[in-house]
Structure 1
Amino acid sequence: MQVGRGRIRVDPLVVDSLLGCVMAVVTVTYGRQAHAAQYQGEGWPSFGVLAIALSLAVNLPLVLRGRAPWVAFGISCGALAVYTAAGFQPSTNLWAPLLACYTVIVRSPARRAAWAAAATATAWAAAGLAARLSVELSLTQAALGVGVVWAWARGSRRLAQRNVQLAELTAQLRREQELRAQHAIAQERLRIARELHDVVAHHLSALAVQAGLAEYVFASDPAAARQAVVSVGSSSRQALEEMRGLLGVLRTGTESPDEENLYRSAPGLEALDELVRRTRASGLDVTWSVSGQWRPLPSGVDLCAYRIVQEALTNSMKHAGPGARISIGLGFGSDLLTCEVTSRGGTAPAAELPSTGLGLIGMRERARLYGGSLRAGPRTEGGFEVVFTVPLAPLDTAGGA
């Protein structure tokens, strides 16, 4: 017997043992008392040692019905047949074979169970005839008794099969939920990694370039050095602001998620002018232009376009160096946003900043996230270009999205 979570779980063998012993004791006790009070006067044989032994053989096999149902049924039903053939009053031993038959029907397919039902019905009919009942009554008794057990047992079998199927489905759903949770965690970690890379890499690259410029012209051009130091402070404050926004997203509770709130503190193309200004402070010649009708973008697409432009400028600061000319072109079509960042010329920095290649990976991931595409690589006429397109909601006739 086991106790767990408010339930008492008893070994089925213990239950079957108690059931078999109790039925054997009750049957023997009832048989002796009934013979002394009634059956002796009707001419039935004495309920002696042989009757007791056969009664025990009919009832005690119920101990095995959980472990070996067919063995228990065969012994019990066979002992009942011998008991009836010996001429003893059979009504005292009818129930144990019926219970063994129930177990066989529950545990076996319908074809095999039908043989057990037929054998039990035959034993019951023979017992009814031996008990001096009419043929009709004996057959009716056998049909009703076995029919009720058949219906009950088959219903229990179907219920057990459904319970097994439900348990398997529950386990499968639990595994799928765990996989979905792991996938969601991986996606969130990837999103956080992209944001951290874009924010940290861009601003630290800008700080490194501006600090190097200030050191380089510290003696020859104090005004330029002072301007570079001012740009360092501005870039630092901007980095802190974006980091606070990102940390605010991470600290947002999951009880009432708000998809729009994920990007509320994040920059978009509206902040492109400030981004260009900071990049110019690093010694790069940056220009940008817009073609088509400027319109507000969905927050996710807006952040995606901004981060791609930011990463392209970061790569230019790392590898092109001062004097590079960078042009940014935004094209607003009726159902497509196109962004092109092209860098030309420039002198490579004295100590080129290390690169992990994660920037290009992150840009491509962002583009795919919104159904867009990205192409990045050197230009045939020199320089480097990044071209990004993403589909937008089409404009209506009034010019709105």
Structure 2
Amino acid sequence: MRIRPRGPFWSISAASRSSTRRGIAVDTLIAAALTSVALLLGPEAARQGQNPLDATAYTLVVLVHLPLVLRGRAPVVVCCLVHASWLVYITAGYWPVVCSFGPMLAVYTVASLRPLRISVPCAALMGGVWIYAGAVSHHVSWPSVVGQAVVYPAVLWRFGVVARRSAELTLQLRREQAERARREVAEERGRIARELHDVVAHHMSVISVQTGLARFVFDTDRLTVRTALDTIDATGKEALEELRRMLTVLRTADDGTSGAPAGPMPGLARLEEMTERVRTGGVPVALTVEGTPRPLAPGVELCAYRVVQEALTNVLKHAPGASAEVRLRYEPHQVSVSVTDDGEGVIPDRVRADGGHGLIGMRERAKLYGGQISIGPQEQGGFAVRLLLPTSARAAAQGDDATT
């Protein structure tokens, strides 16, 4: 059985070999075309008053253009070989113009692939050979020879330099695009991690508290046990629903389905439902809404909802026995939300090392929507999370450094 190597390394190597083969094939066709043009131009030498081309001359024509097959792999070596063969051809007394196409292409190739310190001498080499061709010929106009010796190499060199810079800019653009894509992937992974943390941490905290309560009163208070189990059931279903929604967003559309969520994302209208669930977990929570509720951008509502969710989850995990208050206030151009509690003795755990993933996630969400957020202990005791979000698109767009 024959084993075919697979993997990125082999794929890249195969692609590189394929590209090299295509490059040589193209260069071979170009060299053949230039050789054909030179051979067809050969009979014109006699009509121009030059020595007619014989078998030796036609052999030299082929030798001048033959190295061009490898011009992409060794441009400087090819340029030197082409000019050396051209010098032999000129020294033999044949018309220089017939073999001028190969040296021109060789100079352009060096200028398009090598830096100036290499391409400039190659262009000067072509000009020098052109001057030499005028010196050994007896039927030339020196002003014309000097002009051609300067203009032709200079123009070819300039075209090659422009091509090289264009290729460098294209490569740089591709690198920047790849880097931008990597950053976007990293940002998306961070967003997904925050969403997963918010969904799993909050719901699992509620389930854990309710499970402990049910186990504690299992033999003495069947009604409390039933209530705890109902809460676990509802919380588990909601967690599965949100996870399913996230997976729907992440799923590719290979099967022809869209990547849109199956249902609306959580918003401020569900704060009462959240606080009720936390109350069943043993934390007294008061919800106060000030101002006139109004529809907000989905991203703004989700940001506020997740911040409240994470703050209440922290109360459940780090402040047992504490009571909490959620205050939501609608203002003309912004919305503010705060979550405060009166827990004691666990504040350092909640702010240790600049916070855990939850606190980092809250700050990142606020920054994303141009908001301001403060997280930390209160002077009178307890802990507070306060979030201020702009509701205008222009204000939200100016939130690069709005977190505190």
Structure 2, unmatched stretches of 5+, are 1-15, 69-74, 111-118, 347-352, 395-404
- Compute the TM-score of the two structures, normalised by the length of structure 2: 0.69
Q: Provide the secondary structure at the position in 2 that maps to 1:317.
A: helix
- How far, CA to CA, are the matches of 1:345 and 1:98 in structure 2? 89
Q: Does 1:299 align with 2:298?
A: yes
Out of 340, 343, 352, which is 2:341 matched to? 343
- How far, CA to CA, are the matches of 2:61 and 2:172 in structure 1? 42
Residue in 2 that maps onto 1:251: 251
What does 1:19-98 align with in structure 2 at a 5 Å threshold?
Answer: 62=64, 67=77, 69=79, 73=83, 77=87, 80=90, 92-95=94-97, 98=100
Counterpart residue identity of residue 327, structure 2:
G
Q: Provide the secondary structure at the position in 1 that maps to 2:161.
A: helix
Counterpart residue identity of residue 9, structure 1:
I
CA offsets per residue over residues 87-123 of structure 1, 9 Å max, x none?
Answer: xxx5x44446755764686455366655444333343
User: For residues 13 and 247 of structure 1, do their structure 2 counterparts lie closer, same or farther at Cα, with a shift above 3 Å needed?
Assistant: closer
Q: Is the 8 A contact 1:97 1:120 kept in 2?
A: no
| Deviation, structure 1 residue 315 | 0.8
| Deviation, structure 1 residue 222 | 2.9
User: For residues 230 and 347 of structure 1, do their structure 2 counterparts lie closer, same or farther at Cα, with a shift above 3 Å needed?
Assistant: farther
User: For residues 237 and 118 of structure 1, do their structure 2 counterparts lie closer, same or farther at Cα, with a shift above 3 Å needed?
Assistant: same
Q: Is the 8 A contact 2:107 2:156 kept in 1?
A: no
- How far, CA to CA, are the matches of 2:188 and 2:335 in structure 1? 26
Q: Is the 8 A contact 1:58 1:96 kept in 2?
A: no
Counterpart residue identity of residue 144, structure 2:
A
Q: Is the 8 A contact 1:76 1:96 kept in 2?
A: no
Q: Provide the secondary structure at the position in 2 that maps to 1:9.
A: helix
| Deviation, structure 1 residue 387 | 1.0
| Larger Rg, first or second structure (1 or 2) | 1
Deviates more, 1:58-67 or 1:190-199: 58-67
Deviates more, 1:51-60 or 1:2-11: 51-60
Residue in 2 that maps onto 1:9: 24
Counterpart residue identity of residue 279, structure 1:
V
- How far, CA to CA, are the matches of 2:383 and 2:233 in structure 1? 29
- How far, CA to CA, are the matches of 2:252 and 2:25 in structure 1? 48
Q: Is the 8 A contact 1:263 1:303 kept in 2?
A: no
Q: Does 1:315 align with 2:314?
A: yes
CA offsets per residue over residues 318-364 of structure 1, 9 Å max, x none?
Answer: 12224x2211111222222211101115899xxxxxx9921111111
Q: Is the 8 A contact 1:325 1:346 kept in 2?
A: no
User: For residues 72 and 193 of structure 1, do their structure 2 counterparts lie closer, same or farther at Cα, with a shift above 3 Å needed?
Assistant: closer
Residue in 2 that maps onto 1:165: 165
Q: Is the 8 A contact 1:335 1:394 kept in 2?
A: no
Structure 1, unmatched stretches of 5+, are 84-89, 129-137, 349-354, 396-401
- How far, CA to CA, are the matches of 1:394 and 1:179 in structure 2? 28
Q: Does 1:176 align with 2:176?
A: yes
Q: Is the 8 A contact 1:209 1:282 kept in 2?
A: yes
CA offsets per residue over residues 226-284 of structure 1, 9 Å max, x none?
Answer: 2222212221222122222222212253999999x569531010001101111111111
- How far, CA to CA, are the matches of 1:379 and 1:347 in structure 2? 13
| Deviation, structure 1 residue 317 | 0.9
- How far, CA to CA, are the matches of 2:102 and 2:206 in structure 1? 85
Residue in 2 that maps onto 1:241: 241
Residue in 2 that maps onto 1:228: 228
| Deviation, structure 1 residue 175 | 1.7
Identity over aligned pairs, percent: 33
| Deviation, structure 1 residue 218 | 2.7
Q: Provide the secondary structure at the position in 2 that maps to 1:297.
A: coil
Residue in 2 that maps onto 1:143: 144
- How far, CA to CA, are the matches of 1:163 and 1:57 in structure 2? 32
Residue in 2 that maps onto 1:326: 324
Q: Provide the secondary structure at the position in 1 that maps to 2:141.
A: helix
Q: Provide the secondary structure at the position in 2 that maps to 1:219.
A: coil
- Compute the TM-score of the two structures, normalised by the length of structure 1: 0.69
- How far, CA to CA, are the matches of 1:183 and 1:242 in structure 2? 26
Out of 115, 121, 132, which is 1:119 matched to? 132
Q: How many residues align?
A: 348
User: For residues 118 and 105 of structure 1, do their structure 2 counterparts lie closer, same or farther at Cα, with a shift above 3 Å needed?
Assistant: farther
- Compute the RMSD of aligned alpha carbons: 4.8
- How far, CA to CA, are the matches of 1:3 and 1:215 in structure 2? 67
